[in-house]
Amino acid sequence: MASVQTEPGDAIRITNLVKRFGDFTAIPDLSLAVPPGSFLVLVGPSGCGKSTLLRMLAGLDEPSGGDIAFMGNTVSSGTGGVIADPKMRNAGLVFQSYALWPHMTVAGNIGWPLKVAGWDKAARDARIEDVLKMLGISALRDRYPAEISGGQQQRVAIARTLAPKPAILLFDEPLSNLDAKLRIEMRSELMRIHRATGATSVYVTHDQVEAMTMATHVAVMNQGRVEQFGPPRALLDRPATTFVATFLGTPPGNLLPVTRRGDSLVHGDVPLAPAALALGRDAAQLFYRPEQIGLGRAEGRPVLRAEFAEAAPMAGRVMVTAATGGLRLSAIVDQFPDARPGDPIEFSLSGAPDAVFAMTGERIE
């Protein structure tokens, strides 16, 4: 069916999108607007709906309700009966698996979508050379997939997707099959390719390091909903919910439930902050970043007793993890503690909490 014209402006506009699988609702009501040229990363735990959303963007799954528009054209509508053929969306999809044709050379794999699209041989050959150079794999053009490494196969898969010059690039965890060193190299490569093509990219991952390093915009997803959307730094600096606050960051931040007692917010028997921060609530959650927590007592600072769990080096400092009252807390300190797992230690809290959240999870401003 032909696409339907909507208002232009955003590269991708998702409006009240719903996806059901029988009695299960994977995405209950999702709206999102993606500016042209963005590198949007969908990040969240397994089962949060990010791959389901990407499949609907690619045209592999139909929405149960709501609309998806590319460049002002509605390409999928669960309510209006519009389903544009995937090949008519001007979008390319890079799968987690490389999905290369084993009987075709590298050049043949890259040129196949161009041949299907009706490009003449001269134009195909020129475009194949362009993307081979862009991906740095010109020397591989006459090899077969079985003759090249996994990292090289992924580059070929990306080159094949780029060949038809799509306006929108979709990536479904494309680096998850690579080793750690190659993942880092390919992150930089994908960012370079994004800048070179100017395409709007949507990238799915459960790896928040990938999300924070690659994205111009991040959508943190949870149970089929977008908890927060914006530039990576904004989400780190001002998390809107407890889910975002404790999902992003390495290590993640710490939440301490407190109750109002007189003029103080108290965790257990330890006063942590003025009651005024909770804006009249009898209970709240205080958010402390790992850098705000120190080892041992410090004059004028609240102290929490905890049970040492583990310590690990991190970027020249030490991440210390301990348990207190059923909570797991992480601190970033300068030295390893003289403790074994199970030993009692003390954490001191520095300064005011970085944020205050209601018990229902939303940020208290």
How confident is the model over 79-138, as pLDDT tens digits?
877 788 777 788 998 887 778 999 999 999 999 999 988 999 999 999 999 999 999 999
* Residue bearing the bigger pLDDT, 3 or 32: 32
How confident is the model over 32-81, as pLDDT tens digits?
999 999 999 999 999 999 999 999 999 989 999 999 999 988 999 988 77
135, amino acid identity: L
pLDDT at 240 over 70: yes
206, amino acid identity: H
Task: For residue 202, give both structure tokens.
Answer: 């949507």
DSSP character at residue 95: -
DSSP lists the bridge partners of residue 24 as: 21
* Fold designation for 4-245: Rossmann fold (3.40.50)
DSSP character at residue 212: H
Q: Give the pLDDT band of residue 142 (cuts 50, 70, 90).
A: very high
Collapsing DSSP to helix, strand or coil, 127 comes out as: helix
Rounded distance between C-alpha atoms, residue 39 and residue 217, angstroms = 6
Averaged pLDDT score across all residues of the chain: 91
Q: pTM here?
A: 0.88
pLDDT at 7 over 60: no
Cβ contact 214:41 at 8 Å: yes
pLDDT at 2: 45
Question: CA–CA distance from 250 to each of 218, 290, 335 (Å)?
Answer: 16, 9, 18
C-alpha angle 195/199/202, rounded to 5°?
100
Where along the chain do the CATH 2.40.50.140 domains lie?
Answer: 251-357
The number of angstroms, rounded, from the C-alpha of 54 to the middle of its chain's C-alpha atoms is 12
Task: For residue 271, give both structure tokens.
Answer: 């006063």
Collapsing DSSP to helix, strand or coil, 71 comes out as: coil
DSSP character at residue 364: P
Where along the chain do the CATH 3.40.50.300 domains lie?
Answer: 4-245
Among candidate residues 291, 286, 278, 277, the one with its CA nearest the CA of residue 256: 286
Longest Cα separation, the chain: 80
DSSP lists the bridge partners of residue 293 as: 349
Host H or E run for residue 18: strand 12-21
How many C-beta atoms surround the C-beta of residue 140 within 10 A? 22
Would you tell me which CATH number, out of the four given (1.20.1260.10, 3.30.365.10, 2.40.50.140, 3.40.50.1970), belongs to the domain 251-357?
Answer: 2.40.50.140
How confident is the model over 313-360, as pLDDT tens digits?
998 999 999 999 889 999 999 999 999 999 999 999 998 999 999 999
How confident is the model over 181-224, as pLDDT tens digits?
888 888 888 898 899 889 999 999 988 888 889 999 999 999 99
